[in-house]
Amino acid sequence: MIVVLAGGVGAARFLQGLVQIVPQNEITVIGNTGDDREFYGLHVSPDLDIVTYTLAGVVDETHGWGIRNDTYNTMGQLTQYGNDDWFMLGDRDLATHIHRTNLLRQGKTLSEVTDDLRKQFSLGIRLLPMTDQPVATHIVTPAGQLHFQEYMVKRRCVDVVQDVLFVGVQEAQPAPGVLDALKEADAILLAPSNPIVSIGTILAVPGIHDALHETSSMIVAVSPIIGGTPIKGPADKLMSGLGMEVSAVGVARCYRDFLDVMIIDKQDAHLVSEIEDLGIPTIATNTIMRDEESKAALARKTLEAAGLSF
Amino acid sequence: MIVVLAGGVGAARFLQGLVQIVPQNEITVIGNTGDDREFYGLHVSPDLDIVTYTLAGVVDETHGWGIRNDTYNTMGQLTQYGNDDWFMLGDRDLATHIHRTNLLRQGKTLSEVTDDLRKQFSLGIRLLPMTDQPVATHIVTPAGQLHFQEYMVKRRCVDVVQDVLFVGVQEAQPAPGVLDALKEADAILLAPSNPIVSIGTILAVPGIHDALHETSSMIVAVSPIIGGTPIKGPADKLMSGLGMEVSAVGVARCYRDFLDVMIIDKQDAHLVSEIEDLGIPTIATNTIMRDEESKAALARKTLEAAGLSF
C-alpha cells in the first residue's frame, strides 16, 4: 500500500500521475481538512473534493477547484439573499456539500461521507480525511485571526502572516485507518503540497507525526517550492511569515526529523548538497507537472526513491 | 388589516388579485406549513414560498412551484449521489431552502426566516407561518402513513385516503402575531385552498380555530371546489376519503361554525340555498382566476362580502 499525504491541487495532480503507475486499490490518500469551512451552513471540504473530482476526471482544471462546466445559479440567488459571494460554489459542486452536510447531520462521520463520495465517483483509491473532528486552520495577521479561506480566497493573501494556528487540533484524533495505514505502508509519499497549511496541518493531528517517526516505511517528500516560489498558493507567504526559508531547503527542514528522501526540482539542483547536509538524501528531477507524462514520470521517480518499482 | 389564511397555488393567485385592490401593508397572510419537509437536510416550505415567489413575480406559473426559468443542476448531481429525485427543486429555489435552513440552524424561528425572505423579495405584505413549531401533514393510506408530499408528489395521489393527521400539531402554537392578527382584522379571508390540508391544517393549530370563533371580524371563505372538482390538487380525494361531500357545500360545512359568508363559483349557483340552509349567507360569482382581471374581481367581491370597499 502506498500512502500519500495530500493537500489540494498539487496533491491531486501528483495523484493523477500515481494512478498511472500504481493500481488505485493500492493507494491510500490522507487528506487535509484544516481548510474545511461551512458556507451557508454547508460543510465544504476543499482538499478532499479536489482529490476526488480530479481523479474522477470532472475537476475544473482552469479554476483549480469545483466541477468542470458548472453553473452558479444557486450561489447567485444566495448572494441576492445577502450571503457571502467570495467563495465560489457551483451548482453541481453544491450538491456535494449538501449531500455531505446531510449525511453528517444524520450522524455519519466525515470518513464515512468521504468514502461515500469516493464511491459515487467510482474511485478505487482509499481516501481518508486526516481526522473526523473539526480542525480549522487560522492565519494570524495584523488584520486579526482569519480562517484560512478568508485569508486566501476572500482577502487574496494580502495580509502579513504572523502565525498559523490549527484550531481544534489538540482535541482531534487521526481518522480511523490513518495510523494503521502509516504503520503498514510500503511507502509514504508527501505530495507537493503546502508544507504549512496542507501537510503541516496533517502532521499536527496528535499521533500522526509520531507515526511517521516510528514507521519502518520509506518516506519521500516532493517539494512544492521551485526556485523560491510555490507552483500555486501562498506557501511562500506562510513560510516567510513563520521565519522559514522559502525554498526546497525550507521544505526539507519541515520534514527533517522523519524524512528519508527529498525530491526537488532540477532547477534547484544546486540545493541538493544543502539538503543532504540535513541528513536527507535528495534527488533533483523535473517536478513541474504539465501533462500526464510529466505527472507519471514524477510519480515513478518518487516511488523509485522509496525503493519501489512498478 | 385584511388577514388571509393561505395554502399554495390557489391562495397565491387569490393574493395576486387582493394586492391589486388593497395596499400590501394592509395584508397579513397566515400560511400553511404542514406541507413543509426536509429534502437533503434542507427545510422546504412550499406554501410559504409559493406565496412569496408569486407576489414577487418570479414564480414558475407553468409548474405551479419554484422559480421561473430555473435550472436543475444541483438536484441532478444530488440524484447521481443516490438521493431522492421526486421533489423537483431548482437551483435558485434551492438557494431559498439553503438560506432558510442556515438561518434556522443559527436559531432563527421560521417566522423570522419567512420575514427575511419576504424582505429579500421586497414584498410589503406581512407573511406569517401558522406556527414556528414543526407540524407534518400525514395521509393514512392502505400503503401506510405517508407524509403529504410523498402522498401527493411522489405517489401522485394514487392511494386511497383513510385519514389525515397533523403530526406535532398538539404541541404547536400559533406563530407570533397570528392570534392578534385574527383578533384585530377588518376581515378574515379563507383563500380558495384545500379545506383539509391547507386551511384545515391552519385551523388545527391550537388557538386558531377558537380565535376565528371569537373574533368580531367578518370571515369570508372562497370555495376551491367548482362543480365537484378542485381547480388544482387533491382536495376531492381527501374530502371523499374523510367522508365529506366533494362540493362547495362540503367546503362550507368545514367552516360552518365560524364562517360569515361563503363565496362559490357561479357554476355552483344551484348550491346557494343548500349552503344558506347551514346558516351561511352565500354568494355565487366567477371564482376561476384566469387572468389579472378575474383575480382582482374575485378579491373585490370577497372584500365586499366582508363589508369592505376599496
pLDDT digits (tens, 9 = 90+) for B72-119: 999 999 999 999 999 999 999 999 999 999 999 999 999 999 999 999
Rounded to 5°, the CA angle A53-A59-A60 comes to 155
Of A75, A95, A127, the position where a domain reaches its end is A127
**CA distances to B99, B117, B304 from A78, in Å:** 7, 11, 41
> In terms of domains, do A287 and A190 share one?
yes
> In terms of domains, do A179 and A113 share one?
no
**CA distances to A30, A176, A290, B124 from B287, in Å:** 64, 64, 68, 25
pLDDT tens digits for A68-88? Answer: 999 999 999 999 999 999 999
Chain B CB contacts of A77 under 8 Å are 67, 91-92, 95-96
Is residue B65 situated within a structural domain?
Answer: yes
Model confidence at A104: pLDDT above 90: yes
Model confidence at B4: pLDDT above 90: yes
Candidates A75, A83, A101; nearest CB to B41: A101
**Number of domains chain B contains:** 1
Give the pLDDT of residue A211. 97
pLDDT tens digits for A191-227? Answer: 999 999 999 999 999 999 999 999 999 999 999 999 9
* Closest to B17 (Cα-Cα) out of B305, B282, B287: B287
Cβ contact A71–B73 (<8 Å)? yes
> In terms of domains, do A177 and A199 share one?
yes
- Here the cell at position A284 is 533533483
**CA distances to A43, A86, A158, A164, A203 from A138, in Å:** 17, 17, 15, 6, 16
- Here the cell at position B199 is 386551511
Residue of chain A minimizing CA distance to B122: A81
Question: Which residue is associated with the grid cell 365529506?
Answer: B244
Helix, strand, or coil here: B240?
helix
- Interface probe for B, chosen from A38, A70, A77, A85 (most Cβ of B below 10 Å), is A77
Is residue B287 situated within a structural domain?
Answer: no
Chain A CB contacts of B67 under 8 Å are 77
> In terms of domains, do A24 and A62 share one?
no
> In terms of domains, do A57 and A32 share one?
no
- CA dist., res. A153 & res. B24, Å (int): 42
**CA distances to A100, A303, B21, B208, B302 from B297, in Å:** 49, 79, 9, 28, 9
Cβ contact A91–B73 (<8 Å)? yes
Is residue B45 situated within a structural domain?
Answer: yes
Q: What is the mean pLDDT of chain B?
A: 97
> In terms of domains, do A71 and A9 share one?
no
Give the pLDDT of residue A232. 84
Amino acid occupying residue A257: D
Helix (H) or strand (E) holding B56: helix B46-56
pLDDT tens digits for B57-77? Answer: 999 998 889 999 999 999 999
Model confidence at A64: pLDDT above 90: no
Domain hosting residue B117, numbered range: 29-129
- Here the cell at position A101 is 452536510
- Here the cell at position A283 is 534527488
pLDDT-based confidence at residue A310 (cuts at 50, 70, 90): confident
> In terms of domains, do A123 and A137 share one?
no
> In terms of domains, do A20 and A56 share one?
no
Chain B CB contacts of A95 under 8 Å are 73-78, 80-81
* Closest to A64 (Cα-Cα) out of A7, A111, A130, A115: A7
Question: Which residue is associated with the grid cell 486552520?
Answer: A137
> In terms of domains, do A168 and A99 share one?
no
Chain B CB contacts of A83 under 8 Å are 99
Cβ contact B81–A99 (<8 Å)? yes
pLDDT-based confidence at residue A244 (cuts at 50, 70, 90): very high
> In terms of domains, do A20 and A66 share one?
no
Provide the chain B residues 178-237 that lie in CB contact (below 8 A) with chain A. Answer: none
- CA dist., res. B96 & res. A74, Å (int): 9
Residue of chain A minimizing CA distance to B79: A95
> Contact at 8 Å (CB) between A204 and A170?
no
Q: A37-39 and A42-44 as β-strands: parallel, antiparallel, unpaired?
A: antiparallel
Amino acid occupying residue B87: F
Is residue B249 situated within a structural domain?
Answer: no
Domain holding A230: CATH number? 3.40.50.10680
Give the pLDDT of residue A95. 98
pLDDT-based confidence at residue B309 (cuts at 50, 70, 90): confident
- Here the cell at position B309 is 370597499
Give the count of beta carbons closer than 10 Å to the beta carbon of residue B213: 10
pTM of the entire predicted model: 0.95
- CA dist., res. A238 & res. A243, Å (int): 9
Residue of chain B minimizing CA distance to A101: B41
Q: Which residues contact B41 (CB under 8 A, 6 or more apart)?
A: A98, A101, A102, A105, A106, B101
- Torsion, CA A269, CA A271, CA A277, CA A282, rounded to 10: -40
Domain holding A42: CATH number? 1.10.8.240
Q: What is the mean pLDDT of residues A260-286?
A: 98
Q: Which residues contact B162 (CB under 8 A, 6 or more apart)?
A: B140, B141, B142, B241
Helix (H) or strand (E) holding B183: helix B178-184
Give the pLDDT of residue A301. 98
Residue A257, Ramachandran bin (φ over 0: left; ψ between -120 and 50: alpha; else beta): alpha
> In terms of domains, do A10 and A75 share one?
no
Chain B CB contacts of A53 under 8 Å are none
Within an 8 Å CB–CB cutoff, is residue B25 touching chain A? no
Of A127, A153, A185, the position where a domain reaches its end is A127
> Contact at 8 Å (CB) between B4 and B29?
yes
Candidates B42, B74, B99; nearest CB to A83: B99
What is the percentage of chain B residues whose pLDDT exceeds 90?
96
Helix, strand, or coil here: B120?
helix
> Contact at 8 Å (CB) between B18 and B239?
no
SS (H, E, C) chain A: CEEEEECCHHHHHHHHHHHHHCCHHHEEEEECCCCCEEECCEEECHHHHHHHHHHHCCECCCCCCCECCCCCHHHHHHHHCCCCCCCCCCHHHHHHHHHHHHHHHCCCCHHHHHHHHHHHCCCCCEEEECECCCCEEEEEECCEEEEHHHHHHHCCCCCCCCEEEEECHHHCCECCCHHHHHHHCCEEEECCCCCCCCHHHHHHCCCHHHHHHHCCCEEEEECCEECCEECCCCHHHHHHHCCCCCCHHHHHHHHCCCCCEEEEEHHHHHHHHHHHCCCCCEEEECCCCCCHHHHHHHHHHHHHHCCCCC
Candidates A41, A91, A92; nearest CB to B101: A41
Is residue B286 situated within a structural domain?
Answer: no
Judged on CB neighbours under 10 Å (0-12, 13-18, 19+), A73 is: buried
> In terms of domains, do A266 and A162 share one?
yes
Cβ contact A74–B78 (<8 Å)? no
Provide the chain A residues 94-113 that lie in CB contact (below 8 A) with chain B. Answer: 94-96, 98-99, 101-102, 105-106
Q: What is the DSSP letter of B67?
A: B
- CA dist., res. B46 & res. B89, Å (int): 10
pLDDT tens digits for B175-200? Answer: 999 999 999 999 999 999 999 999 99
Q: What is the mean pLDDT of residues B283-289?
A: 97
Strand order in the sheet with A163-167: A144-147, A136-141, A163-167
Model confidence at A106: pLDDT above 90: yes
Give the pLDDT of residue B75. 97
